[in-house]
Amino acid sequence: MSLASARGVVALVPVLALLVIWHLTVVLSGSLIFPTPAHVAAGLVDLARQGLLLKHVVASLFRVTVGYLLAVALAVPIGMLMGWFAGVHIFLNPLVQGLRPISPIAWIPLAILWFGVGDLSPIFLIFLSSFFPMVVGTAAGVMTIDAKYLRAARNFEFSGLRLFRSVVLPAALPQIVTGMRIGLGVAWLVVVAAEMIAVSSGLGYLIIDSRNAGNRYDLVVAGMLVIGVVGFALDIVMRRLERLDEVRWRYES
């Protein structure tokens, strides 16, 4: 057995143990409401056959993609400016640090007031939740660049945009990607909460609708599991991005 296969088997052990404990707990407790793993699996199959599972997953991913990319487009340039120019940092940092601790969930009433019930409200919340981790991570990445890289670049007459493009951005990439990874994780949490209130599609809506439509807790738990699986897949993508040689530019191999 290869090392990769062995790791896969080891990773499955706690999952299988959890499923066994889950099944035994439901059976021994005699619960008539909480579903067994088999009931949840049947609910997932039923959702897939009706096309609802794909519909809700796509709706959630669409909102996350739009809000997250908007945050990337704004947060990375602002973070780099804050990290490079002391004046910009002094001007913007109090605002960033003051707004950053506010939970994105707290913005839900204002989001609905401003954007109504529809896609714009969750997209706005996803933007907010992603923006601040990326700004902070990008600024920190620029501010912690080893001075020897900058001195070497200036010795070769690098300056202005050329210095920024060839040295500052590559050197800050590890921190930028870390901020992007954190931002994406938070965004995926927030979209589920927002969909429970502001829209009529998506995995969050699936969970709350299943709860209201005859206590279909098999579909509630199925929705929770899909959220976990999709979130895990998104994190794998970001971790692979962190391993790219371009991202590890400032580190010795």
Residue 198 pLDDT: 75
Mean pLDDT to the nearest integer, 153-179: 80
Residue 63 pLDDT: 94
| CATH superfamily to which 38-242 belongs | MetI-like (1.10.3720.10)
Q: What residue segments make up the domains of the chain, in order of their start?
A: 38-242
- The band of 164, judged by pLDDT with boundaries at 50, 70 and 90, is confident
Write the DSSP symbol of residue 45.
H
pLDDT surpassing 60 at residue 18: yes
pLDDT surpassing 70 at residue 221: yes
> How far is it, in rounded angstroms, from Cα 3 to Cα 10?
11
More confident residue, 244 or 80: 80
pLDDT tens digits, residue range 208-219?
988 887 778 899
pLDDT tens digits, residue range 91-116?
999 999 999 999 888 998 899 899 98
More confident residue, 173 or 132: 132
pLDDT surpassing 80 at residue 69: yes
- The band of 160, judged by pLDDT with boundaries at 50, 70 and 90, is confident
pLDDT surpassing 50 at residue 253: no
pLDDT mean across residues, the chain: 86
- Measured CA to CA in angstroms, residue 138 lies from 104, 119, 157, 173, 189 at distances of 20, 28, 25, 8, 22
The alpha carbon of 25 is separated from its chain's Cα centroid by a whole number of angstroms, namely 32
The alpha carbon of 118 is separated from its chain's Cα centroid by a whole number of angstroms, namely 21
